[in-house]
Structure formats: C-alpha cells, structure tokens
Amino acid sequence: RPDVIQPGYEPGTVVTDAVPQTTAPLGSPSEAEVEETLKRIQTHKGVIGTIVVNAEGIPIRTTLDNSTTVQYAGLLHQLTMKARSTVRDIDPQNDLTFLRIRSKKHEIMVAPDKEYLLIVIQNPSE
Amino acid sequence: MSTTKAKLKKPTLKVTPSSRVMNVSTSGVLRVNHSSTYARSINASVSRKSFSLAADSKILDKSSVQTPKHTVQVFDENGKDVTPQPLYQPDPAAVMSKHSKIFASDTSGGTMSDFYSTAYQTTTNASFAGPFTRSVFGSSTVSRGSQSTMESMNEEIEDPSSKRDVSISLSDVQVRREEVKELIKEEMLDEVVDRYLIESETLWLLHMPAVSVSVDSEEAESVKERNNLYMELCKNRMGNDKYVERSMQTFNGAPKTKEVQCEAITMVDAATTATTWDMYDSFRSAGLGEAALSPDTDKASGPEIVSNHRLDPTRAPERTMSVISTTSIASASSSRIEMEPFVVPSEDEPDPELIMQSEKFQQDLFVMERVILENIYQPKLAAYRQLPTLEDPDIVPKVVPTVVSRREESSLDEESTLTPALERLWSFSCELTSGHNVSSMAWNKRNPDLLAVGYGQFDFKDQKSGLICCWSLKNPTWPERVFTCESGVTTLDFSASNASQLAVGMHDGSIATYNVESREKTPVIDSSDCAHKHTSPVWQVRWIDHERGASGEDKGETLISVSADGRISKWFLRKGLDCIGPVLPQSLKVVGNLSITLTSPCSQGPLYRITWSPFCSDVFLSCSSDWTIQLWRQDLFTPVLGFTSTQSAVYDVMWSPKWATVFGAVNEGRVEIWDLGASILDPTIVSLASPGVKLTSLLFATETDCILVGDSDGQVSVYQLKNLTVGEGTQVDALDDIIGSTLASQL
C-alpha cells in the first residue's frame, strides 16, 4: 500500500463506472457454464470417466469408449430405476436425487433424471 | 316391444309415450312394478300399478317365456337405487297353462295380459306368497275384478281412457289393499292376525306311470289277458302270412374331407407391476385432469406424468411408442421405458443440447462436482471441521509429500507431534486467480462456509483489474461467484443484516456492493456517480450496525468507508451510493474494526491495519511497514507492547476470535501466530511461505482452529493450528494481566 499519494495520480480523475460483464463464448452464459463445469469435473483428481446419456441410452457426452459407456449406461439405468422404485415405494412423495455406489476400486456416482443420466466414476484414493 | 328403464330422480316417473308404457308414480313406498313386455312379476302391495301394453299379439305366445329382465330401475331423490326386488318368481309352467286357457280367444293383443295373468297367478300361487297372505285376498279381489273387466276390456284395449278406467278400478282395489297394508304396519304388533290355510291344487312335478301292476288290483285280469294275447301273437308270427320280413338299405353319402386352416392365434403374456408410487402417480395425474396426460399414452400401461421440463412435444409420439412396446414385454414395469436402441437420428441433434441446457442438468453437475470434491478433500475438510478423520480401508496409504511448514516440524522427531504447528490443509485457487494478489478476505456472516476474497495490488504500479471471488468450503477448486472490477480490490465486507450483500472498496476510491446470491456479474450499486466519492484508495469498508438511528431513518446498517484521502464517509444505499461527508468515528469503534490512518509518533511507517480485540474493547493491535506489531490501549498514546520478529513489513494482523491472547500476523515471508500468554517476545508458531510468494493477508476462521493466508500468487491457503494449548476460557484475564504487568514494569 502506498504510504503517500503518488504524484502521478490526479485526484480529479473520474473513473468510468462500466464494469465489463463476462460474456460466454458460446450461446447463452448458462450453456457455457455447463460445458465448463463438465470439463472441470472430468479433470478432477481421480475421475476415471464421465458419462451423460439421454433417456434412450444414447451417450451425449462421454470420456470412455463406446462399449464401456453403453454398458455402464444400461446397467446403471436399471439400478437407478430399481433404487427410485424402492424410494418411492416407501413414500410416493419422495424421489431419488443421487445414487453413490462405493466399491473396492472406485466409486460410481449417478445423478438420475427423467431425461438423462449423469454418471461419474472416480477413484478416490488416487 | 321396448324395454324401458325409468330412472326416478323424484318420486314421479316420467311418461314415455313412444313405448306406450304408462308408469304411474308411486309415493314414498318403494314398491314399483317392473314393467316390461315380458315381466310377469307383481309386487302385490303396490298401490298403483304400472303395466305395459304389448304391441303385438305375438307377445301372448311368446309370453310363455318368463324372463324377468329389462326391469325398471327406480331411484329416489337421493339417487339411491331403491328398485324393489320381486317377492317371488312366478312359476312359468303354471302360468303358461292357465294363461293359454284364458287368452285362447284373445287375439287382439295389447291387453293387460301381463297384469291379468299375474293377477290370476297370484290367486293360484297364493301359497307361495309367503307372509303376504293378506295380499292374497287383495289379489283375489283383483282377479275377480280383473276378470270382470277383462271381458269388457277385450274390445277397448287401445282406448286410453279405458285403460285408465281399468287402472282406476284396479287402483281402487289396490288402494284398499294398500290401506289395509298401511294399517298393518302401524298396529302390527298389537293386532291379532288371522291366518287362513287353504289347500292348494296339487301340482304334478313328475309322473312316471308304473310298468307293472299288482296282482290284487282290478286291472290285473285285463293286464294278464293282454299279456297272453301278446304272447300268442309272437308265437303266431313265425311263418304267418300277415308278417313279412323285408330288408332295406339306406344310401350313405360318400364322405368328403375338408380341411380348414385358420391363422395361428398368438398368445402373449403380459404382466405389469403396480407399485405404490405408480398408483400414486396415476392417482395424482388423474386428479390433475386429462389435460395433464399425453393423449397418445396407452392407458393400460399407466399414464405417464408429464415432467416439468419435458423437452420437445414432438418427441411424445416416440415416447409413447416405446411405452407401448414395454407392455408387450413380459413382466415389464409399467413405468418408464426400456432403452430404445433405434432412434430417428434427425431428432437427436436438438435433444442432447436441450439436456445440456436444462437447469436440472446444471444443478446435477453442480452437486456432482461437490460430491467428487468431497471425495477428494474429505480428510482435509474433516480436519477443518475438527472431526476425526478415518482411514479408508480400501486406500493403500501412500507417502504424502510434506509441505514447507511441515518439513520444518518433521525434523524435530519426537517433539513434532507436540509442538504447536500449522498444518496446511488445502488452498483456494484456480487459474482465474493465479497472479493476482490477495488483498482482503471476509467471511459471510450467515453462512460460515462462504468466503469472499478480494484481489488487488497494493502498490500503485501494475494495477491489474480487480477480482472478487466467493469461495465455498465445499469447492476449493472453483469459486462460486466471480466478479471482475475495474480496479484492484482493497477491502471487502459482508453485511450482517443482509447476508448476501458484499461491500467492496477499490483502489481507485470507488465503492460497490454486490449481491452474491444472484448470478449477476455487475454490482448492485456503485459509487461512481457520487460526487463526493473517494479519490484515493479505500482502505476499509465496513457495515456498522446502528442500535440507535442517528437521523431516524437508518435503523439498519450503514456502510462506512475510510480512504487514503483522509475522509471517513458514511454511505446511503439508494439508487447510487451517496455519502454524507466525513463522519466522526465515535460510535464506530465500539462495534467494528476500523482502519484509520494514524500517524503516531511511535511508528515510522504507515499503518497497514488496526484491529480491535474482540474480547477487550479498549485494546487494539496495529501493524505497519516498520516491521513492528504494536499493542495499544485506547487511553494511552504510546503502545503498550511492541512485537518484532523479522525485518519485513507486516501486512496483516488479526486477533484470534477464540483466545484473547492469541493473534496472527503476516509479513512478507511468513505467518506468525503469537500467544501472549506463552511468550511476548517470540511468536509461538512460525510458518514460512513458499519461495517467491509473498503472504499478504490473514483471516481466522470463526468456528474452528484454522487460519487462512492469502498470498501474492492468488492462493488462499487454509492452515490448521495444531497443538496450540492456550488454556481454559478466553484468556481475557491473562491479557489484562499481561498489559497490567507491562505497564507496571514500564513505570
């Protein structure tokens, strides 16, 4: 911090009030945020793969190869349906929001929805 | 020959002229005749009868078929079905015989045939009427009456008036009977009831004539005669000319085989599971109305709930297609579809993008990221929250590279676990902040996990644009909010009353407030338009809570700022920030920590910070660029204590919120934690910074034993104070003692 006002600074200077707004490079800002977040997730420590599939099982975004993706998507879809059915059977007003499966080697995290499935496989010990 | 069902909403029946049925209303008593062309039953206690007029004579012949169907249903005013059941079923055989006798000559049809027959029938079947023997009498009179009127009626069938006559005459009779019945009801219990038993005619149910006759009977002789004659005949038959044997042959047609083939009837097993939630969903959606349902949905599979963010209506048929396909799959759950591998590719393009843009997806990503980070940072966060950290049994323990501060401690082997030290947990940093100098940090008043960090240069030269990042403890790798400012940020403060309001003071003298809850990148208000705004760097902004409103209107918080141009301004938050000029800081010091540029005789350089002790209200610390930290008391003009450790400017000092005798200080190269109770000459904990990085700011965490240190590279590192034993309580007395003893020794 300066101890005295520097001679170069003129007290009468008016500072413009326009604060530049960060604009996203593609489409709406929220879409860019979504892409950014997805990319960040993929680069986190220990993340083995990230998969986004739609309701039909078609992969929308994936970092794994196609066969693995399809396998994960199919199996987890069924498991998610079963889990959701379990939750709702107990209380129909409740609904499943997140599913985590911890195994010896890694952890599979699923965020289910009617339209899509977001799957991340992470190895926490890495 | 129409069968009618007259529904009664009120006791009166509607007349349907087309069917030529005259149904007369009943009163209250729930007895109405079933009227139909075929019905024969009569409830004997009906007051007024309804009867049907058959249109054809053929009815008579067909009337042998007793089919008590197509009945009239009666409903009372509440809509309850009060249709009376017939008391007995008429015996078809008996009626038929009698019936044919009576109406052998009656060809004109359209008579009260039904009614009469039943009336007659009631007499004959009186024994079957059960307890209503009284009605037998009534019916007998009726039958008499009916027979008498019958002849007169034969010619006047089509005449409606005659019908009425009949009905009236009958009704007279009926009324009598009805009256009688009513009486019974009221005084039933007291009256003596006479019962007359009459033997009815014998009904032959089965008659098998005997084959043999007893020897004693009269016919025996004749039977024997006949038998003998017959035997004679049989004997004479052989060789008798009267009897000739002839054989015949019938032609059998040639059989012909004919084959018929039909299509194979495929059987498919379909099963569905009705789960509790499925029924709940169906019930809810049915209650919401048909509009909520997709029109193409196959109802058998259960209505599909239209989700709030249903992507594209044109996709609906595709979904229903797949929905229908599930029903053909055995034991399919009736809810969501199975995966449909074949999708029209042209529809794929918009769809994934819609998913990516949906808010729910964003939310899920947000949560997912936090979950992943929680996995990564779990031990560190647990240490922060002072929870015991558990070893993950699946993780093979690796050697963790030690940090600079740790290396120092690990050299002292046995005592390393006991000496007070700083353990580095993690640091808030990302690529956005690298290279920026951390100038100030502030915790959110309502959410202790939220941290606002301001980035800006201290020196005037190389002024970059300022940056404000709001970090959450749950995500140390990416800030929750990022705001860029024109000039470097020098100070930050969160408001206490409105926890999402953040006041920012900048290097160019402007002040802005941001709302961190929204995703807006621009400040809520800005001081640029104010005529009296500061012209030199703002050293400090603070929200001060006024217990008593000075001018009556500020009963909440006001924003106070101190700037290098020597002014302390109070700001009003209206459309723009407006200040009311210099304000004397009398009440201010009671509440807040305000940084005032004092020039005091004992410090050679400018003070960087003044901070009041949270426990002793008249004690404050100051740090300046003359390498010293000084402890002052309000009433004294010379510092009570001075602390020097190294020859570098001390940028920041802060009291610990937990212990009165502990404070932390940050100079260029190291972090120092002083514990006055332990020593007033040396810091208790010293932690060196990474080379090349200058440490610039310090913040204590409010609820845990952690400190945050910001440096010139944009990193905010979180350290945990380990093994710092200060003693019980807040040590206020200890501080007072120290000050007192120091003063005493100075005298």
Give the residue with greater pLDDT, A54 vs B134.
A54
Of A41, A57, A109, the CB nearest to B339: A57
Amino acid at the residue B565: D
Model ipTM value = 0.73
Pairwise CB contact (< 8 Å): B355 & A111: no
Look at the block and give the residue holding tokens 């009353």.
B497
The fraction of chain A above a pLDDT of 90, given in percent, is 49
Q: What is the rounded average pLDDT of the residues B674-684?
A: 82
Distance of alpha carbon B703 from alpha carbon B681, whole angstroms: 28
Q: At what angle do helices B133-154 and B160-187 cross, to 10 degrees?
A: 170
Give the residue with greater pLDDT, B167 vs B287.
B287
Give the residue with greater pLDDT, B426 vs B308.
B426
Q: What is the rounded average pLDDT of the residues B153-163?
A: 45
Of A13, A40, A115, the CB nearest to B478: A40
Q: Which of B59, B30, B54, B60 is nearest to B43 (CA)?
A: B30
Pairwise CB contact (< 8 Å): B352 & A5: no
Residues in chain A, how many?
A: 126
- Most confidently predicted of B51-60, B178-187, B690-699: B690-699
Q: What is the rounded average pLDDT of the residues B112-132?
A: 44
Residue B53's Cβ-count burial label (10 Å; 0-12, 13-18, 19+) is: buried
Give residue B598's pLDDT.
Answer: 41
Give residue A49's pLDDT.
Answer: 93
Give residue A74's pLDDT.
Answer: 93
Give the residue with greater pLDDT, B496 vs B396.
B496
Of B336, B369, B396, the CB nearest to A81: B336
Give residue B540's pLDDT.
Answer: 79
The CATH code belonging to domain B428-583 is 2.130.10.10
Q: Could you read off the pLDDT of B220-246 as tens digits, one per residue?
A: 888 889 999 999 888 887 777 777 778
Best probe of the A interface among B275, B335, B392, B394, by most A CBs < 10 A, is B394
* Out of B365-369, B384-388, B484-488, B595-599, least confident range: B595-599
Best probe of the B interface among A6, A13, A15, by most B CBs < 10 A, is A15
Structural contact between residues B544 and B554, judged by C-beta atoms closer than 8 angstroms: no
Q: Between 3.30.450.40, 3.30.450.30, 3.20.20.150, 3.30.310.80, what CATH number should domain A31-122 receive?
A: 3.30.450.30
Distance of alpha carbon B634 from alpha carbon A38, whole angstroms: 54
* Out of A54-63, B551-560, B714-723, least confident range: B551-560
Give the residue with greater pLDDT, B411 vs A44.
A44
pLDDT bin (cut points 50, 70, 90) of residue A5 is very low
Give the distance between the most distant pair of CA atoms in chain B. 177
Give A-chain residues touching B366 at CB under 8 angstroms: 37
Pairwise CB contact (< 8 Å): A92 & B277: yes
Of B277, B341, B367, the CB nearest to A85: B277
Give residue B517's pLDDT.
Answer: 85
Our CA-based measurement puts residue B395 at a distance from the nearest CA of chain A, in whole angstroms, of: 5
A87: left (phi over 0), alpha (psi -120 to 50) or beta: alpha
Q: Could you read off the pLDDT of B601-631 as tens digits, one per residue?
A: 445 566 677 777 878 777 888 887 778 888 8
Q: Which long-range contacts (CB under 8 A, 24 or more apart) does B525-531 make?
A: B525/B573, B525/B575, B525/B576, B525/B577, B526/A17, B526/A19, B526/B576, B526/B577, B527/B571, B527/B576, B527/B577, B527/B579, B528/A14, B528/A15, B528/A16, B528/A17, B528/B576, B529/A17, B529/B576, B530/B576, B530/B577, B530/B578, B530/B579
In this structure, the dihedral spanned by the alpha carbons of residues B27, B30, B31 and B32, taken in order and rounded to 10 degrees, is 80
Domain B599-746, CATH 1.10.3720.10 — does that match? Answer: no
Our CA-based measurement puts residue B736 at a distance from the nearest CA of chain A, in whole angstroms, of: 33
Give A-chain residues touching B524 at CB under 8 angstroms: none
Structural contact between residues B73 and B80, judged by C-beta atoms closer than 8 angstroms: no
Give B-chain residues touching A55 at CB under 8 angstroms: 336-337
Give residue B574's pLDDT.
Answer: 59
Q: Tell me how far CA of residue B706 lies from CA of B373, B444, B545, B730, in angstroms.
A: 20, 16, 27, 17
Q: Could you read off the pLDDT of B175-208 as tens digits, one per residue?
A: 455 555 555 567 667 778 888 899 989 999 999 9
Of B276, B482, B608, the CB nearest to A89: B276
Amino acid at the residue B182: E
Give residue B660's pLDDT.
Answer: 82
Structural contact between residues B716 and B428, judged by C-beta atoms closer than 8 angstroms: yes
Give the residue with greater pLDDT, B486 vs B173.
B486
Boundaries of every domain in chain B = 428-583, 599-746
Pairwise CB contact (< 8 Å): A58 & B348: yes
The fraction of chain B above a pLDDT of 70, given in percent, is 57
Please name the residues in contact with B203: beta carbons below 8 A apart, sequence gap of 6 or more: B94
Give residue B547's pLDDT.
Answer: 53
Indicate if the pLDDT at residue B536 is higher than 60: yes
Our CA-based measurement puts residue B76 at a distance from the nearest CA of chain A, in whole angstroms, of: 41
Give the residue with greater pLDDT, B117 vs B461.
B461
Half-sphere exposure of B313 (CA within 13 A, CB side): 4
Structural contact between residues B180 and B138, judged by C-beta atoms closer than 8 angstroms: yes
Q: What is the rounded average pLDDT of the residues B658-679?
A: 84
Rounded to the nearest integer, the mean pLDDT of chain A is: 79
Rounded to the nearest integer, the mean pLDDT of chain B is: 67
Pairwise CB contact (< 8 Å): A60 & B460: no
Distance of alpha carbon B408 from alpha carbon B425, whole angstroms: 16
Residue of chain B nearest A87, judged by CA positions: B277
Give residue B120's pLDDT.
Answer: 46
Of B280, B362, B605, the CB nearest to A30: B362
Look at the pTM and tell me if it is higher than 0.80.
no
Give residue A122's pLDDT.
Answer: 93
Give residue B689's pLDDT.
Answer: 80
Question: Beta partners for B452?
Answer: B442, B470
Pairwise CB contact (< 8 Å): A15 & B275: no
B520: left (phi over 0), alpha (psi -120 to 50) or beta: beta
Give residue B72's pLDDT.
Answer: 72
Pairwise CB contact (< 8 Å): A34 & B522: no
For B420, other C-beta atoms within 10 Å of its C-beta total 18
Indicate if the pLDDT at residue A16 is higher than 90: no
Best probe of the A interface among B294, B331, B355, B491, by most A CBs < 10 A, is B355
First to last CA, chain B: 130
Of B356, B484, B528, the CB nearest to A31: B356
Structural contact between residues B87 and B129, judged by C-beta atoms closer than 8 angstroms: yes
At B223, list the tokens.
């039977």
Give A-chain residues touching B528 at CB under 8 angstroms: 14-17
Indicate if the pLDDT at residue B317 is higher than 60: no
pLDDT bin (cut points 50, 70, 90) of residue B571 is confident
Distance of alpha carbon A21 from alpha carbon A28, whole angstroms: 13
Give residue B162's pLDDT.
Answer: 45
Q: Could you read off the pLDDT of B269-305 as tens digits, one per residue?
A: 999 888 888 888 888 888 875 444 444 343 433 334 4
Pairwise CB contact (< 8 Å): B396 & A1: no
The fraction of chain A above a pLDDT of 70, given in percent, is 75
Best probe of the B interface among A115, A117, A125, by most B CBs < 10 A, is A115
Give the residue with greater pLDDT, B515 vs B638.
B515
Give residue B69's pLDDT.
Answer: 53
Our CA-based measurement puts residue B486 at a distance from the nearest CA of chain A, in whole angstroms, of: 6
Pairwise CB contact (< 8 Å): A17 & B529: yes
Distance of alpha carbon B684 from alpha carbon A31, whole angstroms: 50
pLDDT bin (cut points 50, 70, 90) of residue A78 is very high
Q: What is the rounded average pLDDT of the residues B108-120?
A: 44
Pairwise CB contact (< 8 Å): A85 & B351: no
Q: What is the rounded average pLDDT of the residues B120-128?
A: 44
Q: What is the rounded average pLDDT of the residues B85-105?
A: 57
Indicate if the pLDDT at residue B85 is higher than 90: no
Distance of alpha carbon B426 from alpha carbon B724, whole angstroms: 20
Indicate if the pLDDT at residue B581 is higher than 50: no
Q: Could you read off the pLDDT of B324-334 as tens digits, one per residue?
A: 333 334 344 44
Of A11, A57, A111, the CB nearest to B364: A111
Question: Beta partners for A50?
Answer: A120
Indicate if the pLDDT at residue B122 is higher than 60: no
Q: Which long-range contacts (CB under 8 A, 24 or more apart) does A27-33 make?
A: A28/B357, A30/B357, A30/B359, A30/B362, A31/B356, A31/B357, A33/B362
